[in-house]
Amino acid sequence: MAPADVKIRIAEITGCDASHIAAMGGGCVGEVWKIGLSDGRTLVAKTGAAGSGLALEGTMLRRLAELSRLPVPKVLHADDGLLLMTFIETAGGLTAAAQRHAAELLADLHGLHGNAFGFECDTLIGGLHQPNPSTASWCAFFRDHRLLYMAGEALNAGHLPSRHMHRVEALAGRLDRWIEEPEHPALLHGDMWTGNVLCRDGRIAGFIDPAIYYGDPEIELAFSTLFGTFGEPFFERYSGLRPLQPGFFEERRDLYNLYPLLVHVRLFGGSYVGAVDSILTRFGV
């Protein structure tokens, strides 16, 4: 959508003229714009085409705002052509203080329980379809709707070699060796990496780009370490609020990180296949 068209749509939705519009980085499915309105408000607009998933992104943000106390942008409008949200001011990065604040927010989020693993609708991760059928068993959900599903998508895209698919299938058949059923399905943000964590002066200002569902909090914690988002300050504070079970760092972290790595294989291929290979080898397949 051209900037002029974005301005017209925003005026229709907000009743205010867009006095300033500037491109921002970070869009997976379309352009991202910072919008200054004539009444002094600042918004973020994401634009896309039919099937972009922007409407679903808006739904996820709204559901997080309704269900939890996690700070997220307020959604003003959401369809696949335009997602319009409040702008979150940032200053500084993930300092130790910000990590401790993130731990408190996520421990609170993970205290929200669902009746089953999955969600009320399918969601998205990195613009990719993420199935969430209601499932009584976490092990079955992680096996069928995370590992096997995303490995199959990566295989069909030509990014995952068939021999690796067979190895993922072999590991999927043995998950109960390492994974126990959590006490409750917990609400997850679902895409916990640095780019989705907004900070301001040693505090968390907001979380963006969710991929929500009810699952085991350990998969969220594992993902937060994959690209170095959170470290010791986070885990010290989090474990003081929600103690970690033995074996998380030693085994289950790598096992759970197969899912986001397979997402990256599906999207990009390349070196991420090697990372998947290393974890499969570690687990004997």
40, 64: one domain: yes
- In the listed set 86, 107, 122, which residue is the last one of a domain according to the structure? 86
The whole-model pTM stands at 0.95
102, 205: one domain: yes
275, 207: one domain: yes
In a domain, 189, yes or no: yes
The pLDDT value recorded for residue 102 is: 98
Catalytic positions are: 191
* Tokens found for residue 221: 């914690």
In a domain, 7, yes or no: yes
The pLDDT value recorded for residue 76 is: 97
152, 101: one domain: yes
Helical segments of the chain, H only:
3-14, 54-67, 96-109, 138-142, 148-156, 162-172, 217-226, 232-241, 253-268, 271-282
In a domain, 91, yes or no: no
Torsion of CA 66, 70, 75, 79, to 10 degrees: -80
79, 101: one domain: no
Based on the structure, what is the number of domains in the chain? Answer: 2
* Tokens found for residue 250: 């030693």
41, 104: one domain: no
Cβ density class 130-142: b for 16+ within 10 Å, e for less: bbbeebeebbebb
Residues of the chain with pLDDT under 50: none
80, 162: one domain: no
Domain that holds residue 216: 96-282
Q: How far apart are CA 86 and CA 174, in angstroms?
A: 45
223, 253: one domain: yes
182: left (phi over 0), alpha (psi -120 to 50) or beta: beta
The pLDDT value recorded for residue 7 is: 87
79, 105: one domain: no
Task: Supply the mean pLDDT for the chain.
Answer: 95
The pLDDT value recorded for residue 2 is: 75
Per-residue pLDDT reduced to its tens digit, 136-194: 999 999 999 999 999 999 999 999 999 999 999 999 999 999 999 999 999 999 999 99
65, 131: one domain: no
Can you say how many angstroms the Cα of residue 197 is from the centroid of all Cα atoms in its chain? Answer: 10
In a domain, 181, yes or no: yes
The sign of the torsion formed by the CA atoms of 143, 144, 148, 153 equals negative
Q: How far apart are CA 169 and CA 189, in angstroms?
A: 26
CATH of the domain at 46: 3.30.200.20
- In the listed set 29, 64, 86, which residue is the last one of a domain according to the structure? 86
103, 235: one domain: yes
152, 36: one domain: no
For residue 99, CA distances in Å to 95, 161, 223, 230, 277 come to: 6, 37, 15, 6, 30
- In the listed set 31, 59, 86, which residue is the last one of a domain according to the structure? 86
